[in-house]
Amino acid sequence: MERTIRSLFAIETDIDIGDIEAIIGGSLFGALQANVILHLGDLEALELLGATVGRPTLLAGAGMLFVYSVLLAFPFLAFISGSINAFVTRIIMLSRNSSLLQKVLVPLLNVSALGVTLFALGQIYGLLVGIVFFGVFVQLWLVFIGGPSALPALGLVSLFAWMTYGGMMGLVYGLAMER
């Protein structure tokens, strides 16, 4: 069953149930890895995520990371639909002039061109999510509800976790779409 959805950015995209399953699966896989990274290196970030619903605990934060990852997965579809062609064109132009880049990219692209491309775009998206969502919106929400805040909340570990989330979401989504 396919539906045409007009996004906030006036981008029309056709989404079917396979797209929804793939993006949710990718976001949960990315969130699992981000949770592991945060548990190993930035417990405070998880507590802040839990505090967004009034429960500044590790368990609540881990659960909210999964919830937020699914909610943030759907804007990823709009992000990639507007940027994938320009990104691929830029990579092709860069690899045309670099034999080293060709040696690295050609085997990867032969395995899964869409997976590799969406992995890279997912990392960019994860960086944006980390800065805008976690670094700004979560902090503003915590100030609004009178919860704990930790400025600056966005450390290297949490930024790496969000980039991992985005990259893995893009990779899983790209691999699922190629099938």
Convert the pLDDT of each residue in 69-112 to its tens digit. 999 999 998 888 766 767 767 776 777 777 777 777 777 666 67
pLDDT at 109: 67
Q: Does position 150 have pLDDT exceeding 70, yes or no? A: no
pTM of the model: 0.80
Three-state helix/strand/coil letters over 149-177: CCCCCCCHHHHHHHHHHHHHHHHHHHHHH
Give me the amino acid identity at 24.
I
Closest CA to 114 of 34, 19, 11, 31: 19
Cα 173 to chain center, whole Å?
Answer: 11
pLDDT at 98: 77
145 close to 15: Cβ distance less than 8 angstroms: no
How high is the mean pLDDT of the chain? 83
Q: Minimum mean pLDDT among 60-64, 101-105, 108-112, 116-120: which range?
A: 108-112
Q: Is 7 exposed, middle or buried (0-12, 13-18, 19+ CB in 10 A)?
A: middle
Give me the amino acid identity at 165.
Y
Q: Does position 3 have pLDDT exceeding 70, yes or no? A: no
Alpha-carbon span 171 to 165, nearest angstrom: 10
Mean of pLDDT values over 52-60: 93
Q: What is the largest CA-CA distance in the chain?
A: 55
